[in-house]
A and B are shown apart, each in its own frame.
Chain A
Amino acid sequence: MRKFPLKGLLSRPLSEAAPEVLGEVEELGIALRQKLGRSLAIRLVDAGSCNGCELELQALGNPIYDLEQFGLKFVASPRHADVLLVTGPVTRNMEVALRRTYDAMPAPKWVAAVGDCARDGGCFAGSYAVVGGAAKVLAVDLYIAGCPPDPRALLQGLLGLLERASTGT
């Protein structure tokens, strides 16, 4: 067991450089962000996704992407969260839970719709059981596209949000 930490001490870090933030994200106009410093607490609600987006969000925690090095952190309670990530085509069965989670978050707060389903319902749009994209339920500040978005795309989106948060523009 000892050889694992030892090897870790003697080798270079596995984490990769952060991806460049895209201009599109920088144009987001959101007020009051300077209050948050360079740290964002994130709460995820899977509002009916196929689990693909969750797998890639989980991957952000692996040593290669190492989300926490950027001050980004998934939190267990909405009471601790600044950002709500929504995945999936918001099912009718999840609509109330999604709304309540958002309501439980303290202001200021932002919503990011992750994946093509959260944008507009994706291939599930039009179903009797689906409300549609996250914007049908909450005001969305950021979209991260992909089916699912890969971890770099996720990081790119979240870092963009963080950058804007710290400059307060």
Chain B
Amino acid sequence: MSDIFDLISVPAPEFRTGPMARHKVSRAEWQLAIDELARGGLSLLSLWASRGAVHMALRRGETGEIGVISVDSRRKTFPSVGVQHPAAQRLERAMVDLFGLSASGAIDARPWLDHGVWGLRHPMGKTSEQAIEAMDYQFLPSEGESLHQAAVGPVHAGIIEPGHFRFTTQGEIVVRLEARLGYAHKGVDALMSGVDARASAHLAARVCGDSSVAYGWAYAQAVEAALGVEVPARAIWLRALMAELERLANHLGDIGAICNDAAFGMMLARTSLLRERVLRECDTCFGHRFMKDVIVPGGITRDLDGEALRRLRVLTGEIGEAFAPLVALYDATASLLDRTVGAGVLSPELAQNFAAGGFVGRASGRDFDARRDLAYAPYDQLEFSVPTRRDGDVNARIWIRIDEVAQSLSLIGQILDGLPQGAIAAELPSRGAAREGLGLIEGFRGDILVWVKFDGRGRIARCHLRDPSWFQWPLLEAVIKDNILADFPLCNKSFNCAYSGVDL
């Protein structure tokens, strides 16, 4: 039996430029990896299935190296990861629904994506026409005196995505929150199987509307790595430009929206103006407000001229100037800070254990950013810092965003200054060997992982997309405990987890 760490030994530059190796392991070795996850020596990047095997992408804490291991599941079972490492539970439940596997030892056997209305079971595995009974979903129990349950969703009061929240409260205090998701499940994994790389790119940009660029890039990166395509430098730099504009727009929107949920509407009015300004400039420069479909495997579809570069430079100046007084306003409004400071505290231990990415992890001391720690071009040639805090409350998550706005503005400036000349796309080979590739991109919410496997005829055999929110939703449930129910919108918005991104 080999040392499990020997299998987790791929440094970032390697998987970013070529196919990703995958190690087939025995059940005993798989178990060793689970033990190490539980111990904290490894962190979970993702867990997914394909026909006949279950895969796990892992990152080694000490060295930052990564690896993908697989265990055979042809007998329809695999050793449960979630039983020892809770962060894996929902990924595991989703996979069980799609592939008809059984996670041996799992303590939570409830379906996750399958609500019993598909008219079939196990769409990605040995499909059965017999749907599961549209059952009464059993929420986790709470015991105590004078408990009261509140059911919210899937249709919410605001203009947001669908999901169900089951609160158990004692008076005003939340004793337990459990989310039930899957309402936006569209069967993306199945739709992506058997199509060519271009068609899949269109879908990848529509997995999670606010992260079109990050998803498009992560997907393109996985495809390019698998096929060994070298993307022109100018395309890579322009991808980063779009990624930072996306981060900027989302953070500006979030900062205002969080304050709005603490009844401070003026901040939303102001930041939504800045957000609109960014989106309009994206539209002018890249032809789409969310820059959908600009990134394609091999490069990008739209180049920028000198006028566009000038406009973006003006934009960053204006945003920087208009944003500073808003930050000062936030910091000086006691009634607002009274709501955000100390609300919804996430402990550094939990953030670390779940390997929570983005502002959720960084506000609770998890010093990780894929742009720096699994470096990719052009970020390895740019100057930026990764803000972290340890207080882990709503206020901390706002401040991480505020600091990241400044970093993004600086990065956009550097990209505009250093943008190399040249082509913006490379040809994709029309057919190639059966190869696998991994993409890992820092979206505004955190690191997005895409794993893709080609079938040898240029078609995608399996594509797995892992949203950062898989490791953030369960933490929201932990965070809201002992807060008042009225603070839920505030805490929820400060997490701003994706629904469609995890429902797929």
Contacts and interface: CB of A to CB of B under 8 A. Distances in A.
Given A51-B210, A129-B185, A14 B159 contact: no
Interface of A: 1, 3-4, 14, 44-59, 61-64, 74, 76-78, 88-89, 91-97, 101, 122-124, 126-130, 147-148, 150
B247 interface: no
A155 to B, nearest CB: 13
Contacts of A56: 289
Given A51-B498, A124-B187, A129 B118 contact: yes
Given A97-B155, A128-B118, 19 more contacts: A44-B159, A46-B184, A51-B161, A51-B500, A54-B159, A55-B209, A76-B158, A89-B186, A91-B183, A91-B184, A92-B115, A93-B113, A97-B154, A124-B191, A127-B191, A128-B119, A128-B187, A129-B185, A148-B290
B333 interface: yes
A1 B157 CA distance: 30
Contact of B117 (A14, A44, A62, A93): A93
A1 B191 contact: no
A109 B266 CA distance: 33
B209 A49 contact: yes
B389 interface: no
B187 A150 contact: no
Contacts of A3: 325
Contacts of A94: 154, 162, 183-184
A128 B210 CA distance: 25
B206 interface: yes
A62 B269 contact: yes
Interface centre among B182, B187, B270 (most CB of A within 10 A): B187
23 contacts: A4-B329, A49-B161, A49-B209, A52-B206, A54-B161, A57-B159, A59-B276, A59-B279, A62-B272, A64-B273, A76-B158, A89-B186, A93-B183, A94-B183, A94-B184, A96-B117, A123-B191, A124-B206, A127-B191, A128-B187, A129-B187, A147-B206, A150-B289
Contacts of B157: 76-77
A95 B115 CA distance: 11
A127 B329 CA distance: 48
Contacts of B272: 59, 61-63
A84 to B, nearest CB: 11
A51 B159 contact: no
Interface string B189-201: 0110000000000
A48 B500 contact: yes
A1 B210 contact: no
B292 interface: yes
Contacts of A88: 184
Interface centre among B184, B188, B289 (most CB of A within 10 A): B184
A3 B270 CA distance: 13
A127 B289 contact: no
Contact of A93 (B115, B160, B269, B273): B115
B292 A147 contact: yes
B90 interface: no
A148 B209 CA distance: 9
Given A62-B272, A76-B157, A52 B187 contact: no
B111 to A, nearest CB: 11
A57 B161 CA distance: 12
Interface centre among A48, A63, A148 (most CB of B within 10 A): A48
Interface string B129-171: 0000000000000000000000000110111111000000000
A3 B328 CA distance: 12
Contacts of B498: 51
Interface in B487-504: 498-500, 503
Nearest to B123: A128
Interface centre among B159, B161, B184, B190 (most CB of A within 10 A): B159
B283 interface: yes
A50 to B, nearest CB: 4
B203 A123 contact: yes
A63 B275 CA distance: 11
B270 A4 contact: yes
B266 A4 contact: yes
In the A-B complex, list the 5 residue pairs whose CB atoms are closest, starting with the nearest. Answer: A52-B209, A76-B157, A51-B209, A127-B187, A62-B272
Given A4-B329, A49-B500, A58-B159, A130 B210 contact: no
B17 interface: no
A132 to B, nearest CB: 11
Contacts of B188: 124
Interface in B106-130: 113, 115, 117-120, 123
